[in-house]
Amino acid sequence: MRNQALRRYREQRDRNRLAEPGIHQMALVLDHLKPGFSVPKIFRSAEAFGAHEIHMIDIGPFDPAAGKGAFKKVPAKFHDSFDSCFENLHERGYQLFTLDLGEGCQPLGEVALPEKSAFIFGHEEMGISFDRSSYAGIECLTIPQVGETQSLNVSVAASIVMYEYCRQHGSKTAGNR
pLDDT in tens, 38-82: 999 999 999 999 999 999 999 888 777 766 778 888 999 999 999
31, containing H or E segment: strand 26-31
Pairing of strands 76-79, 95-99: unpaired
Average predicted confidence (pLDDT) for the chain: 89
6, containing H or E segment: helix 3-16
Instruction: Quote the pLDDT of residue 1.
Output: 56
pLDDT in tens, 135-146: 999 999 999 998
Residue 87 lies in a domain: yes
CATH of the domain at 65: 3.40.1280.10
Residue 26 and residue 52 in contact, taking contact as beta carbons nearer than 8 Å: yes
Query: What are the φ and ψ backbone dihedral angles of 30, each rounded to 5 degrees?
Result: -105, 105
pLDDT beyond 60 at 176: no
pLDDT beyond 50 at 177: no
pTM of the model: 0.91
Residue 175 lies in a domain: no
Residue 67 lies in a domain: yes
Gap between the Cα atoms of 141 and 119, Å rounded? 9
Domain extent at residue 53: 3-169
Gap between the Cα atoms of 43 and 142, Å rounded? 21
